[in-house]
Structure 1
Amino acid sequence: MSWISAARGARKMRLVGAVALVSAVLTPVATSAPSASADTAPPSIASTSYPKFVESSSMRWRGTHWSATPSFRWTPTTTAGVAKYQVQTWHGKRRGSMVGMDSLGSGYQSTVANYPASRTSVAGHIYSGDQVCRRVRAVNSAGTVGRWSGWKCSYAPLGTEEFEPGYGFDNGVFDYYARNNGASNNPMRSASYLAKGVRVKVRTGPKYGKARILVGSTLLGTVSGYASKSGYKVVTLQKSANLTGAIKVRAISDDSRPFRFVGLWALRATAPLGSSRVVTWRSPSELWPVTDPVESSDTTRPKMTGFSLSPTFPTTRNSNGFYSVKASWRGSDNVKVTGYEVATKHGGSTSYYDGGSGATTSTSMPVIVDWAGSATCHRVRAFDAAGNFSPWTSWKCSHAPLIPISDWTASAGPAVAGKAWTSVRMLDDYYHRPARTRDRYSAKKLRIQYRVGPRWGRAKVYVSGTYFGTINAYSSTVGTKWVTLTATREAHERIRFVPVTTKDVLIGKVFVIPDPAKNLPPAPTRG
Structure 2
Amino acid sequence: MSWISAARGARKVRFVGAIALVTAVLTPVATSAPSAFAETAPPSITSTSYPTFVEASAMRWRGTHWSATPAFRWSTATAEGVAKYQVQTWHGKRRGSMVGVDSTGSGYQSTIATYPASRTSLAGHIYSGDQVCRRVRAVNNAGTVGRWSGWKCSHAPLGTEEFVPGYGFDNGVFDYYVRNNGASNNPVRSVSYLAKGVRVKVRTGPKYGKARILIGSTLLGTVSGYASKAGYKVVTLQKSANLTGAIKVRAISADTRPFRFVGLWALRATAPLGSSKVVTWQPRSELWPADPVESTDTTRPTMTGFSLSPTFPTTRNSNGFYSVKASWRGTDNVKVAGYELAGKRGGSTSYYDDGSSVTSNTSMPVDVDWAGSATCYRVRAFDEAGNYSAWTGWKCSFAPIEPMDGWTAGVGIPSGGKIWTSVRTRDDYYHQTARTTDRFSAKKLRIQYRVGPKWGRAKVYVGGTYFGTINAYASTVGNRWIALTGTREAHERIRFVPITTKDVLIGKVFVIPDVSKNLPPAPTRG
Name the TM-score, length of structure 2 as normaliser: 0.51
Asked if structure 2 preserves the Cα contact closer than 8 Å seen for 1:377 and 1:398, the reply is no
Aligned residue for 1:72?
72
The code of the aligned residue for 1:398 comes to: P
Aligned residue for 1:248?
248
Asked if structure 2 preserves the Cα contact closer than 8 Å seen for 1:166 and 1:186, the reply is no
Aligned residue for 2:109?
98
> For residues 105-504 of structure 1, what are the structure 2 equivalents within 5 Å?
111-116=112-117, 118-164=118-164, 166-169=166-169, 171-252=171-252, 257-278=257-278, 282=286, 375=373, 395-399=397-401, 401=405
Aligned residue for 1:19?
none
The code of the aligned residue for 1:239 comes to: K
Deviation at 1:137, TM superposition (A): 0.9
The code of the aligned residue for 1:89 comes to: T
User: What secondary structure is seen at the aligned counterpart in 2 of 1:177?
Assistant: strand
**Aligned to 2:515, which of 510, 517, 520?**
517
Question: Higher relative contact order by CA 8 Å / sep ≥ 6: 1 or 2?
Answer: 1
Deviation at 1:65, TM superposition (A): 2.4
Determine which structure has more spread, i.e. the larger CA radius of gyration. Answer: 2
Asked if structure 1 preserves the Cα contact closer than 8 Å seen for 2:197 and 2:215, the reply is yes
Deviation at 1:514, TM superposition (A): 8.1
Q: Deviations over 1:263-314 (max 9, x none)?
A: 111000001212323466648xxxxxxxxxxxxxxxxx9xxxx997669xxx
Deviation at 1:262, TM superposition (A): 0.9
User: What secondary structure is seen at the aligned counterpart in 2 of 1:57?
Assistant: helix
Asked if structure 1 preserves the Cα contact closer than 8 Å seen for 2:398 and 2:510, the reply is no
Aligned residue for 2:328?
none
The code of the aligned residue for 2:399 comes to: C
User: What secondary structure is seen at the aligned counterpart in 1 of 2:57?
Assistant: helix
The code of the aligned residue for 2:275 comes to: S
Distance in 1 (alpha carbons) for counterparts of 2:277 and 2:396: 42
Asked if structure 2 preserves the Cα contact closer than 8 Å seen for 1:215 and 1:247, the reply is yes
Distance in 1 (alpha carbons) for counterparts of 2:375 and 2:512: 11
Distance verdict in 2 for CA 1:345–1:251, change over 3 Å: same
Deviation at 1:177, TM superposition (A): 1.5
Distance in 1 (alpha carbons) for counterparts of 2:123 and 2:395: 38
Q: Deviations over 1:332-375 (max 9, x none)?
A: xxxxxxxxxxxx99766775869x99999xxxxxxx9997x774
Deviation at 1:50, TM superposition (A): 1.1
Distance in 2 (alpha carbons) for counterparts of 1:38 and 1:128: 48
Asked if structure 1 preserves the Cα contact closer than 8 Å seen for 2:63 and 2:346, the reply is no
Aligned residue for 1:89?
89
Deviation at 1:158, TM superposition (A): 1.0
Distance verdict in 2 for CA 1:145–1:189, change over 3 Å: same
Asked if structure 2 preserves the Cα contact closer than 8 Å seen for 1:443 and 1:490, the reply is yes
Instruction: Count the aligned residue pairs.
Output: 337
Asked if structure 1 preserves the Cα contact closer than 8 Å seen for 2:313 and 2:397, the reply is no
Distance verdict in 2 for CA 1:392–1:82, change over 3 Å: closer
Distance verdict in 2 for CA 1:326–1:62, change over 3 Å: closer
The code of the aligned residue for 2:116 comes to: Y
- RMSD over aligned Cα atoms: 5.2
Q: Deviations over 1:447-506 (max 9, x none)?
A: 9xxxxxxxxxxxxxxxxxxx9669xxxxxxxxxxxxx9x9977879xx9xxxxxxxxxxx
Deviation at 1:164, TM superposition (A): 3.4
Distance in 2 (alpha carbons) for counterparts of 1:307 and 1:80: 51
Unaligned runs of 5+ residues in structure 2 are: 1-33, 100-106, 288-304, 325-342, 356-360, 378-392, 409-429, 431-436, 446-461, 466-483, 494-508, 519-526
The code of the aligned residue for 1:228 comes to: S
Deviation at 1:257, TM superposition (A): 2.1
Distance in 1 (alpha carbons) for counterparts of 2:176 and 2:441: 22
Distance verdict in 2 for CA 1:326–1:44, change over 3 Å: closer
Asked if structure 1 preserves the Cα contact closer than 8 Å seen for 2:489 and 2:514, the reply is no
Q: Deviations over 1:70-97 (max 9, x none)?
A: 1212222333322222211111412211
Aligned residue for 2:58?
58
Deviation at 1:249, TM superposition (A): 1.2
Q: Deviations over 1:193-228 (max 9, x none)?
A: 110000011111112121111111111111111111
Distance verdict in 2 for CA 1:69–1:257, change over 3 Å: same
Deviation at 1:156, TM superposition (A): 0.8
Distance in 2 (alpha carbons) for counterparts of 1:237 and 1:514: 47
Name the TM-score, length of structure 1 as normaliser: 0.51
Q: Deviations over 1:104-129 (max 9, x none)?
A: xxxxxxx222231x332222221111
Distance in 2 (alpha carbons) for counterparts of 1:345 and 1:150: 35
Q: Deviations over 1:48-85 (max 9, x none)?
A: 11111111111112333221111212222333322222
Distance verdict in 2 for CA 1:307–1:374, change over 3 Å: closer
Distance verdict in 2 for CA 1:249–1:307, change over 3 Å: closer
Distance in 2 (alpha carbons) for counterparts of 1:185 and 1:271: 37
The code of the aligned residue for 2:80 comes to: A
Distance verdict in 2 for CA 1:393–1:242, change over 3 Å: closer
Asked if structure 1 preserves the Cα contact closer than 8 Å seen for 2:175 and 2:262, the reply is yes
Unaligned runs of 5+ residues in structure 1 are: 1-34, 101-110, 284-300, 312-319, 328-343, 361-367, 380-390, 405-416, 418-436, 448-466, 471-483, 496-510, 521-527
Asked if structure 2 preserves the Cα contact closer than 8 Å seen for 1:441 and 1:512, the reply is no
Distance in 1 (alpha carbons) for counterparts of 2:181 and 2:173: 23
The code of the aligned residue for 2:210 comes to: K
Distance verdict in 2 for CA 1:254–1:358, change over 3 Å: farther
Distance in 2 (alpha carbons) for counterparts of 1:242 and 1:307: 49
Distance in 1 (alpha carbons) for counterparts of 2:156 and 2:394: 40
Distance verdict in 2 for CA 1:377–1:135, change over 3 Å: closer
